[in-house]
Every structure is written in structure tokens, then in C-alpha cells.
Structure 1
């Protein structure tokens, strides 16, 4: 009897510990939680925007983690609740396939920036204005970025859609390597064709132009959008409100990108922007009870 009683007591204690542990896990996603994880892709635009939003949340007392991920993994992480949100979704074209795959498991908060664009970009001194005009420029090579990027997929489609690009190559690398190659080519007045997007600091630093896309492979105007994990609104309502209210302009974004490109640490650039744009930050945080 004593052994049975001890056994039952042990089971009861064990069950109690398990429930306590589960309760502790739930509290980590409760409204009292101060931990926030924002995912982003390591593009210049998203480095800037994510650091700014992260800084705003940090100033509100949150313990913010910014997690750089491959594009597809970023979408998956938020859809699975492994990250709380992202402000880095380009729609309707660049991230269209990821959106269709993961949208049912995400909360969509709408655009945070309008007027974005992707396409093939060349220095203005090059005597070509349309993708259809390309012949032998830049040794039949387009300098691209990461293999998993939406613009990479669009460029691969362009190589199939445009007959004059049948024997062209797409050189994938990284966004940093692409801008380094662009800068070097411009310094030497050489031909170069890159996968480009705006907003981006390169348009403020160099005289560039998009090539016309008569087949519409790269789509028209895009927006950058915000998505969060399911349940964030209930678990962390103030974080949800800030992400829902976050909206700014290309000029705002490019000003930070230029500072980062010139060598300023992204976190310091974000801090300075938040300090110098208190009126805009106040709009993002206006619904939070102080």
C-alpha cells in the first residue's frame, strides 16, 4: 500500500510539474512576454526597415531579436510561429509564390511601403533601353543576387521568355557582391546589367535606369508588406499594433540605407532615424496604452 501510495504521489507530482512547465511555455507567448523575434532577408532595404522597427519595439521595452534568413525560410519561420513577424514581403510579384504557399498560416497587415519595383538595371551611359534591345552587352551576363530571391526567379523566367536572351547567363551571388560589381563597372565605364530593385541606395549614388520589360516578366509596381504569425494579436497586442501601424516612404528608407552603405552600423543608423523622426514613430505607437 505504501509503495502504491508513493507511486501515485510521484505520478501526481510529475503531472503537476508537466502542467507547470506547459503553463510556463504558454506564458512566454502571453501578453506579458517582452521577447520579440523579427525575421528578414539580408537585402539592403530589409536590413534598414527591420532594424528601425526593432529599435521602436526596443524603445518600448521589448527584448528584440532580428533574425536574417533566406527568403523562403523567412516566410516559413513566420508561418510556423518560429518568428513573430516580418516587414519584408514584396508583393504581388517578387514573393508571389511564397505568399500563395504560406498565406493561410499568416496574418497579413498590409503594405508598409508603396512604389517598390524590380527589374533589370543598367548604368545610364549604356545605349540600351529595353530588355528586347539586349544583344552582346556585358558578355551575355546578368549579375544577380541570392539564388532564393524572388528577383532571381523572375530573371530566370526572363531568360526563357525573351528570345534574344536564349544564350545569356545569370550570375547569382549576393546583394553585396552585386553592388560591388556595379560600382566597379561604373568606375571603369564598363557595361553591366544587374538585377535591381527600388527603393535602393544605388539609385541615389549612381545614374541608373531600368530596362523596359515589354513582356511584363518583372511585373509592375510593387508594395513591401508586413506579415505576422497567427496569434500575435492576442499574445502581444502592442507589438501587433506597432507592426500594423508601421508605414513610411521610399525617401525614409533610402536615407537609412545610404548611411549604412557609408559605413554606419545598422542599429546606430536605426537609432538615429528613430530619434530624428519622432513624429512618424508616434504614429506607429499611438494605439499603445502608455
Structure 2
């Protein structure tokens, strides 16, 4: 009798444990059922930082997030077709204006997630003392080995630089395509050897925290005035995932906050995604402003 009761007790315990495991699995599935958000971005230090931070926050709120690194043109195309749900990498009103115009009927601009950006040609401070303006480049082409070091060819900054070169009549230098990483590598090498170099640059960027750099003066305003970085989503996201939409709409931070993440990402062997999660965990008050009142 005692033995039978013991057997029954064991059976009930095992059933209860199984039910608990099943219930736990069901709860985990429920927590993971909010859906998948596809984020596209350009491989710029600023956009790597911001997109990973947004990913970390959305995942914290129960979403699965995919990230796709694309050229600027393809990024906007993906957003227009709906292959991407959102970007936090729209440089407006100038740099990405042409891209936005092609998909404006298929997207919603949620406004700036960061203010105070700038674009232009950048040189080391010791070069600026000799060549302070874009207008001085032609006469000093030999200092720069007859080239301006650019980034990826699809970037809006590159097309703006081509227009600026025409506006200033710069025909003794050519614009060299590379990538954001290759550009900063060339800049680091030149500074290490105290050589003159001119590169396409933008703020916010970690290179300004690492080296003494100057923007060449732009009296003709070929690069326009200061810009902002916007969050843009594909139409229909608000209805499909209202909480994710609200978080993306609330996302806003400062160049200083972005700079913290960018500098973390420059450490050898660091992982931008892990750095983003660390930053998010260390700034709960900031993240709360993005997520507060957004629960579905």
C-alpha cells in the first residue's frame, strides 16, 4: 500500500514537472511571438552603433530582429519594397534626399533620432594649417597624391562630394572609392606618418574623438547645412506591429551617447551587438524613454 502510494506520488510529481515544463515552454513561445523586425543599415560607424542599439532594445521587448548591411541605395530600395521594415540611418534633408524621393509613397518618416550631423571634406589639423578650405585643394593637389579618399561608391556623401568638386572646379584631384573602414585606415596611416590626406567625413564619427581633425571650410555651402539622422519605416508597420513602431518612433539620442557606443566598437575584437546590449543595460533611464507606454 505504501509502495503504491509512493508510486502514485512519484507519478504525480513527474506529471506536474512535465506540465510545468510544458507551461514554461508555452510562456517562452508566447514571449517570442511578437514577430520579426527587419532592420537595414549602411556600414557606417554611426549606423552600426544605432542599429545595434535599436536591435538590442527591440529584442529586450520580445521581438526577433534581423539586420542587413547594405549600400545606401539598396537599403532604401529594400525599405521601399518592404524587405526592410525600418532604418534608423536616413541622413536628411540632403544626403539621402534622392533615395527618399524614389520611395516616399511607400514609407513613413518618423523624424530625427539624432540631431547635429555634418558632412564635408576632412583633414588632419596639421594639414588644415596649410590648406584650410575646399577652394585651396586644386593648388595643393600634390600634397594629397592627387586624390580624395572616399567611402563606398553608393553613399550619398560620395555623390555630394562629386558635386562639390564640380562646384569648386577641382579637377587636379580624383575621388577614390573605398569604404568607411578603408577610409579611416588610410587616415590613421597618414596621421601616424604625419602625411597630408583629405577624406570624405561626417559627424558623428569616432575618428573625431581619436584624432585632431578639421573640416575644410566650405564657403559655397556645397555640402549644405547641418543635417539630422531620421528613422524611416515601411508603411503598414504601425498597424502590423504597433509597439515596435512606437519604440522606433520614440528612439532618440545624442551624438555624445552615440559616440560612447562607437568608441566601444573600435576596441580590437569587440562585437557591436554585444557592445549595444551592454550600453542598453547600463542606460535604463534612456531606454525607458523609448519603451515607456508602448506595451501592446
Normalising to structure 2: TM-score of the pair? 0.85
Partner residue in 2 for 1:132:
135
Aligned to 1:100: 101
Residue of structure 2 equivalent to 1:79: 80
CA RMSD of aligned residues (A): 1.0
Cross-structure match for 2:198: 193
Shift of 1:91: 0.6
Shift of 1:185: 0.1
Question: Deviation at 1:167?
Answer: 2.3
Does residue 268 in structure 1 map to residue 285 in structure 2? no
Q: Work out whether 1:234 is the aligned partner of 2:239.
A: yes
Q: Secondary structure of 2:163's match?
A: helix
Spell out the pairing of 1:1-290 with structure 2 (5 A cutoff): 33-126=34-127, 127-134=130-137, 135-136=139-140, 137-163=143-169, 165-263=170-268, 264-289=270-295
State the Cα deviation string for residues 89-114 of structure 1 (Å, max 9, x = none).
Answer: 00111111111111121011000000
| In structure 2, distance between residues paired with 1:158 and 1:168 | 12
Rg larger in 1 or in 2?
2
Summarize deviations over 1:101-160 as a string: whole Å, max 9, x none. 111210110000000011000000012111012222302210000000011001111121
Distance 1:97 1:83 in 2: 18
Secondary structure at the residue paired with 2:126? coil
Looking at structure 1, the residues matched to 75 and 119 of structure 2 have their Cα atoms a distance apart, in angstroms, of 20
Secondary structure (helix, strand or coil) at the match of 1:125 reads helix
- CA separation in 2, counterparts of 1:35 and 1:158? 41
Name 2:3's counterpart in structure 1.
none
Could you tell me how far apart the structure 2 residues matched to 1:256 and 1:247 are? 14
Between 128-137 and 182-191, the greater mean CA deviation after superposition: 128-137
Structure 1 residue 33 displacement after superposition: 4.3
CA shift, 1:207, in A, is 0.1
CA distance in 2, matches of 1:112, 1:106: 16
In structure 1, runs of 5+ residues without a counterpart are 1-31
In 2: Cα distance, 1:257 partner to 1:211 partner: 23
How much does 1:57 deviate?
0.4
- 1:171-203 Cα offsets, whole Å, 9 max, x none, are 100000000000000000000000000100000
Q: For 1:278 and 1:33, how far apart are their aligned partners in 2?
A: 22
